[in-house]
Amino acid sequence: MFKFLKRKIKKIEEEVEEEKEERKEKRKEKKLLGLSEKKIDELMWDLEIALLESDVALEAIENIKRNVKKELIGASRKDARKKIEEALRNAINEILKKSEGNFYEEIEKFEKPVVIMFVGVNGSGKTTAIAKLAYDLKKRGYSCVIAAGDTFRAGAIEQLELHANKLGVKLIKHDFGADPAAVAYDAIEHAKARHKDIVLIDTAGRMQTNINLMEEMKKIKRVAKPHLTIFVGDALTGNDAIEQAKKFNEAIGIDGVILTKVDADAKGGASISIAYAIKKPLYFIGIGQGYDEQIPFKAEWMLKRIFE
């Protein structure tokens, strides 16, 4: 996990060590002097390239660079390598902390049934993310209804039905090609009649540039009036996931993020910056295939895996 990003961070630290070795002979008279401004600027450039190659969003990169530079000014060459690791850790931690969100605190703010709509492109793991959340909700004592709102793919309805049967959760579905807004409406009415706590609405996943898809999402949102709209993104797509989140947020407004396949992500850029880029909380991350392998996002958990 995050092997590529770790390698890039290590390379930056090694550059500082090389600077120190180059001046070893002059260390006695200059040991209290800080890194040169030129060297700091070179490091900031290398850091920017390393983070870009790791799919970190530009907004996050600028924040990281600003904070790292602030901590490096005045740092002695003797402690430079230790200082840059500490500065990088602090800068990335600040971004990750801003990305934290408490999903379960959030849903307690609303009257039941709490309606949650899920959006994202095909292949992002949206259907599985919904099933994992239904599993976790049920484990915590919430009763759920799932709406099979992706009526454009018969396979999506069948996949949700399989999950719902395994989990013992009610699934509301219509025929292939039906109006997804009608499916969402029926699921909400069922939840009200049966006093269910949560309605989880799946939606069709096509590219964020598809105008018809966005109009469909707007219609579902008007009908369902969800308390939360959650974007589901695939960590492996890096910057694409961040751009998708921005497009969905601009078109329909999203309230939070679930990031899937984080366990297989070598770069780590999407994990670091997706929530920061759209200023919305990252509620959950997927770290495996099992129903119990979608966990609440915590900055400390992520930081350990980047710097361990």
User: How high does pLDDT run on average in the chain?
Assistant: 87
Collapsed DSSP state (helix, strand, coil) of residue 221: helix
**Rounded Cα–Cα distance for residues 195 and 20 (Å):** 67
Residue 149, pLDDT above cutoff 90? yes
Residue 71 confidence class, pLDDT cut points 50, 70, 90: confident
Residue 22, pLDDT above cutoff 90? no
Residue 159, pLDDT above cutoff 80? yes
First to last CA, the chain: 11
Residue 86 confidence class, pLDDT cut points 50, 70, 90: confident
Strand 294-296 versus strand 228-234 pairing type: unpaired
Strand 294-296 versus strand 144-147 pairing type: unpaired
Instruction: Confirm whether pTM is higher than 0.75.
Output: yes
**Rounded Cα–Cα distance for residues 78 and 20 (Å):** 7
Give tens-digit pLDDT for 220-266: 999 999 999 999 999 998 888 999 999 999 989 999 999 999 988 87
Mean pLDDT of 25-49: 69
Give tens-digit pLDDT for 187-205: 999 999 999 999 999 998 7
